[in-house]
Amino acid sequence: MSQAGPGADTSTAANPDIAKPETERILVIRLGALGDFVLSLGPFAAIRKHHAAAHITLLTSAPYDDLARACGAFDDIWIDERPTMWQLGGWLALRAKLRGGGFTRVYDLQTSDRSSFYFRLMGPGRRPQWSGIARGASHPDTNPERGNIHTIERQREQLGLAGIAAVPLAELAWAKADVGRFELEPPYVLIVPGGAPHRPEKRWPVSLYIDIASRLAARGLQPVVIGGRPEVALGAEIAAACAPACDLTGQTDFQDIAVLARGAKVALGNDTGPMHLIALARCPSVVLFSSASDPVRTAPRAPERAVPVAVLREDELATLDVNTVWAAVAEAAAIV
């Protein structure tokens, strides 16, 4: 049985509503979005290592099911159907599932109002040990600056308070995919022009991505455009304007992206989830931020300092000069 961090009082005498650990059954909560989920891959591995003999369940959102299974940190994956306020039946079903899980400890890596409410759902009576920000948690993250630091540092602090001292960045060696089906022509460069459909302010103009793609093609590098189904129109527009470009929008899953990144010369994209996978796969990256998000808190990270991850930021991305972006791409990829 693993021990709690220094100063933590986990005895049932101190808190009768905390369940006494018997057989270790661990629940990890991480719902999304993709970038947040990817930043938790390191904590997932650290929790698995710390609780090597435990049965560990992940509660997550449906889009991350396959990625969660592939990473090897979990014995079971539960999909949170996220009932609305008025779906009483959904809440009752979730409560029954959480209470019936027999969990001895919960790591709430979502640390939202919603996930903290799940702590209350698991009552009344004996609850598992809880790492998070829920009121009554046995292992609370009490750092008043937690909202102003990078997700990686914040989760390291949270897990450290729960007794997990070592939380390295994620390694994606487990990601596997047959990307030969795409018949790419190395050297190639990944272009990620999309992002959340409801956050258009986080997107650099497609006309400027076309400019960069054309410059890459002129230097013998194949631009490869990736993204989800909402980005299909963007991919088609870039491919139509730059004939050498390969449009893979709507055709790749998360493991495809990681494997493609291993072979890419460089990647350029907005502040969006796939850029986190790409950086972790050790691909030199240039990531574009607007005032809509803060790179201090959410910038992609590479597992090695030798892999450059350049962040460019303008309050309005439309004003970010294409020559500035090109210079960063050329430097990251050592393009002459």
Residue 116 has pLDDT above 50, yes or no: yes
Model confidence over 160-213: pLDDT tens digits? 999 999 998 898 999 999 999 999 989 999 999 998 888 889 999 999 999 999
Rounded to the nearest integer, the mean pLDDT of the chain is 91
Q: Note the pLDDT tens digit of each residue in 256-274.
A: 999 999 999 999 999 999 9
As a whole number of angstroms, the distance between CA 296 and CA 299 comes to: 6
Strand partners, 105: 26, 129
Asked, colleague to colleague, whether 25-161 and 179-333 share their fold, the answer is yes
Residue 96: per-residue pLDDT: 95
Nearest residue to 24 via CA among 122, 128, 155, 115: 128
User: Would you place residue 104 in the very low, low, confident or very high pLDDT band (cuts 50, 70, 90)?
Assistant: very high
Please say whether the structural domain 25-161 has been given the CATH code 3.40.50.2000. yes
pTM over 0.85: yes
> What are residue 188's DSSP bridge partners?
222
Residues 312 and 295: beta-carbon distance below 8 Å:
no
Domain ranges of the chain: 25-161, 179-333
* Residues in contact with 242: Cβ distance below 8 Å, sequence separation at least 6, in sequence order: 210, 213, 214, 217, 223
pLDDT over 70, % of the chain: 93
Buried b (16+ CB within 10 A) or exposed e, 216-240: bbeeebbbbbbbbeebbebbebbbe
Looking at the structure, give the CATH architecture of the domain made up of residues 179-333: 3-Layer(aba) Sandwich (3.40)
Q: Of residues 38 and 20, which shows the higher confidence score?
A: 38
What is the reported pLDDT for 32? Answer: 83
CA torsion 237-240-244-249 (nearest 10°) is 40
Rounded CA-CA distance 256/16 in Å is 48
pLDDT, one tens digit per residue, over 293-328 is 999 999 999 987 778 999 999 999 999 999 999 999
